[in-house]
Amino acid sequence: MIDLLSDPQAWISLLTLSVLEVVLGIDNIIFISILAGKLAPADQPKARRFGLMGAFLSRVALLLSITWVMRLTEPLFTLIGRAVSGRDLILIVGGLFLIGKATLEIHSKLEGPEESTTTTKGGRSLWATVAQIAVIDIVFSLDSVITAVGMADSVIIMIAANVIALGVMLVAATPISDFVDKHPTVKMLALSFLVLIGTNLVAEGLGQHISKGYTYMAMAFSVIVEMLNIRARTKSEAVQLRGVPQPPDDE
């Protein structure tokens, strides 16, 4: 432990891995925000906290069983001339779950309030939502842990990086969730991101590697464009309000 504290390379690994964990946690926050937004207002903070704590615990559990995790990359069987591993199966199932969940949420938004009365806030169970979050947390955690193994040699550094990332995400989760919930177009954009991330997971499970840099750059570009749209709409609404004549005072 003392050797790690005095090793500059360990501090560099901790910083790099912490940043990576925060970046990889963005999709997790988006997913948690979308699901938590379907709950009653009093339950939303609980769902976010439980979801992020579940993500942290699942990553630590996988880090502590790193030997088993690395065995998941070994082929289980061959299908159409391609070896399929346990990791591939988890990524494919998790990706399909994410695509299906996001698609259903998009459909719910598009079909209108008359047909979506069963999905109003408060109509869903807190623990059912937490269970859904836990399922996808395992997929995100698996991918994150395998990435972390290639960047740091010490499990202590990996766990410390996850603790730092958890702190950052706990602070950022509520503002991000409130912002997504406040702007319907941003919420639709977030759901589209989940479809994209799910597609990447399925492609990864099928052996088609897609650099996460491309995905996050596309997401960042879309967010910047949407921020410009929100600013333009806000400015336009302010101009319209200033241009509307006020009714005369009653005498």
For 39-82, write each residue's pLDDT tens digit: 888 888 888 888 888 878 887 887 777 667 667 778 888 877 77
Tally of structural domains, the chain: 1
**Tens digits of residue pLDDT in 99-137:** 888 888 888 877 755 444 444 444 458 888 888 887 777
Determine, yes or no, domain membership for 40: yes
Residue 144, pLDDT above cutoff 50 = yes
Determine, yes or no, domain membership for 249: no
Determine, yes or no, domain membership for 247: no
pLDDT at residue number 205 = 84
pLDDT greater at residue 14 or residue 225: 225
Q: Is this prediction's pTM over 0.75? A: no
pLDDT at residue number 149 = 63
Residue 251, pLDDT above cutoff 60 = no
pLDDT at residue number 47 = 85
Strand partners, 79: 82
pLDDT at residue number 153 = 61
Transcribe the chain into DSSP letters.
Answer: -HHHHT-HHHHHHHHHHHHHHHHHHHHHHHHHHHHHTTS-TTTHHHHHHHHHHHHHHHHHHHHHTHHHHHHTTSEEEEETTEEEEHHHHHHHHHHHHHHHHHHHHHHHHHS-TTT-GGGSTTSS-HHHHHHHHHHHHHHHHHHHHHHHHTT-S-HHHHHHHHHHHHHHHHHHHHHHHHHHHH-HHHHHHHHHHHHHHHHHHHHHHTT----HHHHHHHHHHHHHHHHHHHHHHHHHHHHHHHHSPPPPPP-
Average pLDDT of the chain, as a whole number: 76
Domain interval for residue 185: 2-242
Determine, yes or no, domain membership for 35: yes
Determine, yes or no, domain membership for 175: yes
pLDDT at residue number 30 = 80
Mean pLDDT of 178-184: 79
Residue 180, pLDDT above cutoff 50 = yes
Determine, yes or no, domain membership for 250: no
pLDDT at residue number 120 = 44
**Tens digits of residue pLDDT in 195-231:** 888 888 888 888 887 877 787 788 788 888 888 888 8
Determine, yes or no, domain membership for 227: yes
Q: Percent of the chain beyond pLDDT 90?
A: 0
pLDDT at residue number 117 = 42
